[in-house]
Amino acid sequence: MSLLELQGVSMAFGGLRCVDNLDLHVDAAEILSVIGPNGAGKTTLFNLITGVYEPTDGDIVFEGRSIKGLSPHRITQRGIARTFQTLRLFLNMSVRENVMAAAYGHTKAGVLRSILRTPGMRREEQEIRELAEQRLAFFGERLTGYRWDQPAYSLSYANRRRLEIARATATNPRLLLLDEPAAGMNPKETQEITELISQLRDEAGYTILVIEHDMHVVEGISDRVVALDHGVKIAEGSFDEVATNARVVEAYLGTGAAERK
Amino acid sequence: MSEGPRIGKDEWVARAGENIARNRLLRLFDRIPGWARLLAFVVGVALIPLITDDGYINAVVFDTLIFCLLAIGLNVVVGWGGLLDLGYIAFFGVGAYTYAILSSEKFDLHLTTPVVMVIAVVLGALLGFLVGLPSWRLVGDYLAIVTLFVYQIFISIVTNGHDLFGVDLTGGVNGIANLDPFDFFGLQIPVSHEGIFNSNYVYVALAVFVAVFVALYLVNHSRIGRSWRALREDTLAAELMGMPTDWLKLLAFAFGAAVAALTGSLFASLKVGVFPETFSLTLLITVYAMVILGGVGSQTGAVLGAVAVYVFLEALRDPDVSGWVFYVSIVLALLFLVRPRWMVAIVLAATAAFGFVVHAVVGAIDDSWTAGAPPDSDRITRLLDSWVAIPANPGDAKTLAYVSLVALLLFVTTLKGVWRWAALVPTLYLAAFVWENVLSLQPDVTRFVLLGAMLVGVMVTRPSGVLGEHRVEIV
């Protein structure tokens, strides 16, 4: 059974159908890439899965249960976490706090226990702290040590992208949605992030759905690729199958491009 | 290579930025642990009634603590939650009226104060939830306007509360009088003792303050406080990282409201009565000024802001003090703004000379122009007696001087080079004239003008408040 299944999902803003009758499934422990030209509906797809938008039609099923209509924080608590194409870190909080904050969904201490500083609350706080440091350690030395207490705004662009991934993993997800993880990175950093995404699956065990424009990254990581255009799935399969698909080439390069090639 | 943290270029830049934002004195203050600061504050306040039995001073200390409580409560909503709540003072009023209704002759109810406080806190929190509901859809100024109407609704209800569906609940504009003094399960603390303010109220307020301060501190340093800050930074990202932002917003509102209501009940226990006009917009703005001055989001800053602003406002009731503040701040402003520094000396000397000449000339033309009695014969005024012209019958000259001062100030800003310094001389003299003849005669108005000037000065030099964290909106 698939981990995530979209069944005939549509999203319309007034007359504009950004996602149109889309069927999509993500199997456990796979890396699925979504590609498509600008405005194809990729980020809308992420917003639908994470509950930012409620689909106008169809159903979204995660681990056998429908998550349609749940508020975003409930969906995250069910086990889906994401990063953002335009980074959305808590800029004025420290690196460690950014990650600790994301542990909210699976921790319990309420107002009263916080004021009374019960042993359970202290233990939980300690656990969140260790969890955050461990998640940050996944990225080697870049986000550890003296960086823990620095505000997120002091990080470089590439490190902010890494911090976003660390923050998403602190929600203890099973499915990780990465929205253009390699955007704005130089070739060396892109190479690193490619390896890192594979590690996230192989070592940490996350299932990953990724939107990416850099075809080298897509080729390097994907088990399967789905191509979208105007909210419709135009191709699905291995990277080679999709990359040579006539409709995909047409979507990117325009009508007739496939023939001329 | 040496041990210790390796610092890359990014860090070096970030550290340098921090150093620029926080000067040496503040960094020294940062190094004092939180509990030590609180202890110093508590001991300092607790000693005041022992040092002096001046009823006025002790009453000011009590009121300062009330403002400290209001400021740290507002800091929860505005500083930590990032929600602009302009209805805040309504909750303070709710607490005060709760006390007045449950502990006075009004309905012949005389509940003990701790019970009233619990009721006020619960009521405040519930109303806070209600007022917080618009925050699910509204942010920033939009939320501020809606909450401002909540405040207006409160004022309307209490002013017309003498006939609320046939029941006299709040006494309308006359308020509720003859409140019981603070009562701890039968142990009463009379408001005045042998005709002077009972300093025991300072200790009651101090105890409440410490309890609230510590509780809020602990909540802030927990997962709740962390998620408040996260939602302030980016509500959508917080929601998508598993935080129930709608609930957290309500919780912030409820916390602020509960603190305000508790403070209101404490405030009322000291007063003879509560009236609608106590809960004015001026009060709201004053509390906001305290939080902003201290640094939005910093609890210590809120306390510091409350103490500074309230003590400042009280001190300025005295014309002597306000005179000193006026002249000293002008000299300080010149020292900060005028470059090169020796130019300050020249400008001041020229102003002094200019003043003596004007005084002599005007006095020679018409005696009555310098015959006016100084409002108070304190040191400054005596010093200035032969310098500033104080007419016996200023009449329209007051208005004329005030208007021309504003015009001159605007004019000076448009000038460049030596002309600016030249024009500054008569402007400064005119400012002194206006001060002595107009402003110092109305301390109640002037103190807010001076407070405003102080706020502008502090906020220009430290945009995020005295203890506020250097914050970045977009990078």
User: Do B348 and B310 fall into the same domain?
Assistant: no
What's the pLDDT at B43?
A: 95
What's the pLDDT at A74?
A: 96
| CB-nearest partner of A82 from B224, B240, B475 | B240
- Would you state the torsion angle of the CA atoms of residues A242, A248, A252, A256, taken in this order, to the nearest 10 degrees? 130
Cα–Cα distance measured from residue B10 to residue B379, given in angstroms and rounded to the nearest whole number: 55
Q: What is the mean pLDDT of residues B175-198?
A: 84
Closest CA to B354 of B384, B387, B331, B378: B387
Is B462 inside a domain boundary? no
User: Do B330 and B312 fall into the same domain?
Assistant: no
Is B269 inside a domain boundary? yes
Q: What is the mean pLDDT of residues B382-401?
A: 78
| CB-nearest partner of B240 from A76, A97, A114 | A76
Amino acid in the structure at residue B326: F
How many angstroms away from the CA of B98 is the closest CA of chain A? 24
Candidates A111, A121, A162, A164, partner chain B, best to mutate (most B CBs within 10 A): A111
Contact B442, B319 (CB under 8 A): no
- The DSSP-derived string for B156-224 is HHHHTGGGBTTB-SS-GGG-B--BPPEEETTEEE-SEETTEE-THHHHHHHHHHHHHHHHHHHHHTSHH
Contact B115, B137 (CB under 8 A): no
| Six-digit token string for B383 | 């010093």
Q: Is B296 on the interface with A (CB under 8 A)?
A: no
* pLDDT tens profile B102-129: 999 888 899 999 999 999 999 999 999 9
Domain boundary among B271, B296, B317: B317
Q: Is B137 on the interface with A (CB under 8 A)?
A: no
Q: What is the mean pLDDT of residues A229-251?
A: 92
Q: What is the mean pLDDT of residues B403-427?
A: 89
The verdict on a CB contact (< 8 Å) between A73 and B244 is yes
Across chain B, mean pLDDT equals 87
Cβ neighbours of B168 (radius 10 Å) = 13
Cβ neighbours of B86 (radius 10 Å) = 22
Across chain A, mean pLDDT equals 92
Amino acid in the structure at residue B264: G
H-helix segments, chain A? 42-49, 72-78, 95-101, 111-116, 119-137, 157-169, 187-202, 215-221, 239-243, 246-253, 257-260
What's the pLDDT at B132?
A: 92
Our count of domains for chain B comes to 2
The pLDDT of residue B322 is above 60:
yes
CA-to-CA separations, B99 to B52, B124, B249, in angstroms, rounded: 30, 12, 27
Contact B325, B316 (CB under 8 A): yes
Contact list in B for residue A121 (CB cut-off 8 A) is 222
The verdict on a CB contact (< 8 Å) between A97 and B226 is yes
How many angstroms away from the CA of B396 is the closest CA of chain A? 54
What's the pLDDT at A104?
A: 95
CA-to-CA separations, B17 to A87, A151, A161, B11, in angstroms, rounded: 22, 12, 23, 10
What's the pLDDT at B343?
A: 87
User: Do B182 and B312 fall into the same domain?
Assistant: yes
CA B465, distance to chain mean position in Å, is 12
Cα–Cα distance measured from residue B345 to residue A259, given in angstroms and rounded to the nearest whole number: 84
User: Do B293 and B379 fall into the same domain?
Assistant: no
* pLDDT tens profile B441-467: 888 888 888 888 888 888 887 888 888
CA A116, distance to chain mean position in Å, is 37
How many angstroms away from the CA of A224 is the closest CA of chain B? 26
Q: What is the mean pLDDT of residues B304-316?
A: 93
Is B83 inside a domain boundary? yes
User: Do B384 and B419 fall into the same domain?
Assistant: yes
Domain boundary among B317, B337, B371: B317
Contact list in B for residue A106 (CB cut-off 8 A) is 242
Q: What is the mean pLDDT of residues B259-269?
A: 96
Buried b (16+ CB within 10 A) or exposed e, B101-139: bbbbebeeeebbbeebbebbbebbbebbbebbebbeebe
Is B191 inside a domain boundary? yes
- CA angle, residues B317, B318, B324, in degrees to nearest 5: 115
Cβ neighbours of B449 (radius 10 Å) = 14
The verdict on a CB contact (< 8 Å) between B243 and A73 is yes
Q: Name the percent of chain B lying above pLDDT 90.
A: 49
H-helix segments, B22-112? 24-31, 34-51, 55-74, 88-102
CA B28, distance to chain mean position in Å, is 25
* pLDDT tens profile A218-234: 999 999 999 999 999 99
Is B26 inside a domain boundary? no
Cβ-in-10-Å burial (0-12, 13-18, 19+) of B177 comes to: middle
Is B453 inside a domain boundary? no
The pTM assigned to this predicted structure is 0.88
Contact list in A for residue B244 (CB cut-off 8 A) is 71, 73
Q: Is A157 on the interface with B (CB under 8 A)?
A: no
Is B110 inside a domain boundary? yes
Q: Report the DSSP pairing between strands A207-211 and A175-179.
A: parallel
Q: Name the percent of chain A lying above pLDDT 90.
A: 79
DSSP 8-class letter at A6: E
Residue B3 pLDDT level (bands cut at 50, 70, 90): very low
- Would you state the torsion angle of the CA atoms of residues A169, A61, A221, A228, taken in this order, to the nearest 10 degrees? -120
Cα–Cα distance measured from residue A129 to residue A101, given in angstroms and rounded to the nearest whole number: 10
- The DSSP-derived string for A22-83 is EEEEE-TT-EEEEE-STTSSHHHHHHHHTTSS--SEEEEEETTEE-TT--HHHHHHHTEEE-
Closest CA to A128 of A162, A96, A88: A96
Domain boundary among B274, B298, B317: B317
Predicted ipTM of the assembly: 0.93
Q: Name the percent of chain A lying above pLDDT 70.
A: 97
How many residues make up chain A in this entry? 261
Q: What is the mean pLDDT of residues A65-91?
A: 94
Contact A83, A161 (CB under 8 A): yes
* pLDDT tens profile B19-60: 555 667 777 888 888 899 999 999 999 999 999 888 889 999
What's the pLDDT at B153?
A: 95
What's the pLDDT at B373?
A: 58
Of A245-259, B1-15, B157-171, the range with the lowest mean pLDDT is B1-15
Q: Is A18 on the interface with B (CB under 8 A)?
A: no
The verdict on a CB contact (< 8 Å) between A90 and B234 is yes
Residue of A nearest to B243 (CA): A73
Interface of A with B in 50-69 (CB under 8 A): 50, 52
Q: How many CB pairs under 8 A join A and B?
A: 122
User: Do B169 and B68 fall into the same domain?
Assistant: yes
HSE-up of residue B436 (Cα within 13 Å, Cβ side): 28
User: Do B120 and B268 fall into the same domain?
Assistant: yes
CA-to-CA separations, A80 to A169, A174, B301, in angstroms, rounded: 9, 6, 39
Contact list in B for residue A98 (CB cut-off 8 A) is 230
The pLDDT of residue B4 is above 80:
no
What's the pLDDT at B6?
A: 54
User: Do B86 and B114 fall into the same domain?
Assistant: yes
Residue of A nearest to B247 (CA): A73
H-helix segments, B366-416? 379-384, 396-414
| CB-nearest partner of B242 from A88, A104, A145 | A104
Radius of gyration of the CA atoms of chain A, in A: 19
Candidates A94, A154, A156, A172, partner chain B, best to mutate (most B CBs within 10 A): A154
Q: What is the mean pLDDT of residues A96-108?
A: 94
Contact B398, B392 (CB under 8 A): no
* pLDDT tens profile A110-160: 899 999 999 999 999 999 999 999 999 998 888 888 889 888 988 888 899
Instruction: Name the residue with higher pLDDT: B182 or B195.
Output: B182
Q: Is A140 on the interface with B (CB under 8 A)?
A: no
| CB-nearest partner of B14 from A102, A150, A167 | A150
Q: What is the mean pLDDT of residues A22-48?
A: 93
Q: Is the peptide bond before B340 cis (omega within 30 degrees of 0)?
A: yes
Q: For the domain that residue B158 is a member of, what is the CATH number? A: 1.10.3470
The verdict on a CB contact (< 8 Å) between B240 and A105 is no
Contact list in B for residue A126 (CB cut-off 8 A) is none
User: Do B140 and B235 fall into the same domain?
Assistant: yes
Q: What is the mean pLDDT of residues B391-408?
A: 85
CA-to-CA separations, B310 to A26, B85, B447, in angstroms, rounded: 62, 21, 11
User: Do B147 and B181 fall into the same domain?
Assistant: yes
Q: Is A111 on the interface with B (CB under 8 A)?
A: yes
Cα–Cα distance measured from residue A129 to residue A120, given in angstroms and rounded to the nearest whole number: 14
Q: What is the mean pLDDT of residues A171-187?
A: 93
Q: Structural domain of residue B79, as residue ranges?
A: 34-317
Residue of A nearest to B238 (CA): A102
Residue B1 pLDDT level (bands cut at 50, 70, 90): very low
User: Do B250 and B281 fall into the same domain?
Assistant: yes
The verdict on a CB contact (< 8 Å) between B243 and A91 is no
Q: What is the mean pLDDT of residues A84-99?
A: 93
User: Do B308 and B347 fall into the same domain?
Assistant: no
Q: What is the mean pLDDT of residues A39-55?
A: 94
Is B2 inside a domain boundary? no
Q: What is residue A173's three-state secondary structure?
A: coil
Interface of B with A in 2-31 (CB under 8 A): 5-7, 10-11, 13-14
Candidates A43, A92, A128, A160, partner chain B, best to mutate (most B CBs within 10 A): A92
H-helix segments, B75-139? 88-102, 113-132
What's the pLDDT at A257?
A: 62
